[in-house]
Amino acid sequence: MPYLFTSESVSEGHPDKIADQISDALLDNFLAFDADSKVACETLVTTGQVVLAGEVKSDTYLDVQNIAREVINRIGYTKGEYQFSGESCGVISLIHEQSQDINQGVDRATKEEQGAGDQGMMFGYATKETENYMPLALDISHKILQVLADLRREGSQINYLRPDAKAQVTIEYSDENVPQRIDTIVVSTQHDDFDSDERMLAKIKEDVISIVIPKVKKLLPDEIQKLFTNDIKYHINPTGKFVIGGPHGDTGLTGRKIIVDTYGGKGAHGGGAFSGKDPSKVDRSAAYAARHIAKNLVAAGVADEILVQVSYAIGVVEPTSIFVDTYGTANVNLSDGEIALKASELFDMRPFAIESRLKLRNPIYLETAAYGHMGKPSIKVNKVFESPYNGKVEKEVELFTWEKLDMVDQVKAAFNLA
């Protein structure tokens, strides 16, 4: 029997995502000036206030207040009527030094023997249903909000948008787990005040359906565009007015959107957040490495859909387990356990090996903190960091290295795939 599946995304102006972006901007700056920094930064945002907390071990010193303000302004919180802006908000820093009890479990005489920064399990997932091997409902949700943000910044086609927004997409699947059509699209976007609530709701709904959705469709391949039928149910700002938003409408915290950050509810999640954590924290680095494994296995044709789990004990260099679930879609005559064993032989999952293979000691994290950590293209960019204490650093870095299909040939050879 056909079934429905739903995923949601939130915009860069959502309070939780503001917090994530501030935390990752701090991490990037620490890594830019000291690549060996150990960082676990948390951020809270609320009406007119930002609170920074966490633990850091680094040889550099940062103007953390200024970094937070720059992130807030870049997102678009620049007006007093938002009750939260980069220029006027208070920024309180409660960041302190990392516990030596934790650090002694990570650092070793040689970097290759570096222990895991925490215990826990991390998951990676990939599916053939999209070109970027991501679940379709989440991919479309992300794209709706990215288009909405582009239109907000451009300002000519839609001139009333404010930074906070959410999107949700429901897709009907066949018994064979193939997307058939889009059933429902939900968009809630913050906006300027209108002179009439009735006119406001009609205008926003018209603009989302006639301007935003067509732009989203153009970003998708033809077979996905066909899923956008005239029968889609739209719920646009279903509660009505959405003028009060952002941190004034709802407090935001780092790490509260872990399903948005990963696979939209497909696959699984180990519970650990990503933003603000340096790569010695396997919550982040091993989740990226597991995605790298899953994506390369699917791209090589091992299976049409794969979930990879890896687990660690704090301070221990080797993972305690590697698990694979192909959901019955394997294209090789091997059990999931045998596939997991081969994957563990191909991909070194020791913490330092992950850091080195995926180049995770670079300042590459701010770009991950909105619209998902997975599914984006791996590209090289130049980034500039300036500090009143450390001067200026310019670096070429490679973003989203875990999205590279750089192990497909090795996987095909290991699994005897043509």
List, for residues 2-31, the tens digit of each pLDDT value.
999 999 999 999 999 999 999 999 999 999
Cα angle 317, 320, 325; round to 5: 130
Mean pLDDT of 66-83: 94
Is residue 38 marked as binding?
A: no
256 assigned to a ligand binding site? yes
DSSP 307: E
Is 55 annotated to bind ligand? yes
Does 142 belong to an annotated binding site? no
| 277 marked as part of a ligand binding site | yes
How far is residue 13's CA from residue 212's CA, in Å, rounded to a whole number? 17
Res. 108: pLDDT tops 60: no
Residue 16 marked as a ligand binder: yes
The DSSP output letter for 212 is: I
Per-residue HEC secondary structure of 326-377 comes to CCCCECCCCCHHHHHHHHHHHCCCCHHHHHHHCCCCCCCCHHHCCCCCCCCC
Q: Kindly tell me if the per-residue pLDDT of 101 is higher than 60.
A: no
Per the DSSP assignment, residues forming a β-bridge with 394 are 384
Buried-state track 267-305, b at ≥16 Cβ within 10 A, e below 16: bbbbebbbbbbbbbbbbbbbbbbbbbbbbbbbbbbbbbb
Q: Is 347 flagged in the annotation as binding?
A: no
> Whole-prediction pTM value?
0.95
Residues in Cβ contact with 233 at an 8 Å cutoff, skipping those fewer than 6 apart: 183, 184, 185
Q: How would you label 380-396 residue by residue, b for 16+ Cβ within 10 Å and e otherwise? A: eeebebebeebeeeebe
Question: Is 17 assigned a ligand-binding role in the annotation?
Answer: no
- Confirm or deny that 241 is annotated as ligand binding: yes
Per CATH, which fold does 120-128+260-414 belong to?
GMP Synthetase; Chain A, domain 3 (3.30.300)
Between the alpha carbon of residue 15 and those of residues 18, 116, 258, 281, 394, the distances in Å are 5, 30, 14, 24, 30
**Cβ-based neighbour number of residue 90 at 10 Å:** 9
Answer yes or no: are the C-beta atoms of 321 and 156 closer than 8 Å: no
14 is in an annotated binding site: yes
Q: What's the pLDDT score for residue 89?
A: 93
Question: Annotation-wise, does 273 bind a ligand?
Answer: yes
Which fold would CATH assign to domain 15-99? GMP Synthetase; Chain A, domain 3 (3.30.300)
pLDDT on residue 117: 77
Per-residue model confidence as pLDDT tens digits over 340-383: 999 999 999 999 999 999 999 999 999 999 999 999 999 999 99
**CB 166, CB 188: distance < 8 Å:** yes
Cα–Cα distance for residue pair 407/215, rounded to 1 Å: 33
Instruction: For residues 151 and 212, give the distance between their C-alpha atoms in angstroms, rounded to a whole number.
Output: 8
Per-residue pLDDT tens digits for 284-314: 999 999 999 999 999 999 999 999 999 999 9
> Where exactly are the structural domains of the chain?
3-10+136-245, 15-99, 120-128+260-414
Query: 3-class SS at 152?
Result: helix
The two structure tokens encoding residue 14: 């959502």
Contact 118, 272 (CB under 8 A): yes
User: Where residue 259 falls among pLDDT bands split at 50, 70, 90?
Assistant: very high
Q: Which residues contact 333 (CB under 8 A, 6 or more apart)?
A: none
Correct CATH for 3-10+136-245 of 3.40.50.300, 3.50.50.60, 3.40.50.2300, 3.30.300.10 = 3.30.300.10
* 239 has pLDDT over 90: no
Q: Phi/psi zone of residue 300: left (φ > 0), alpha (ψ -120 to 50 degrees), beta?
A: alpha
Backbone φ, ψ for residue 253 (5° rounding): -135, 145
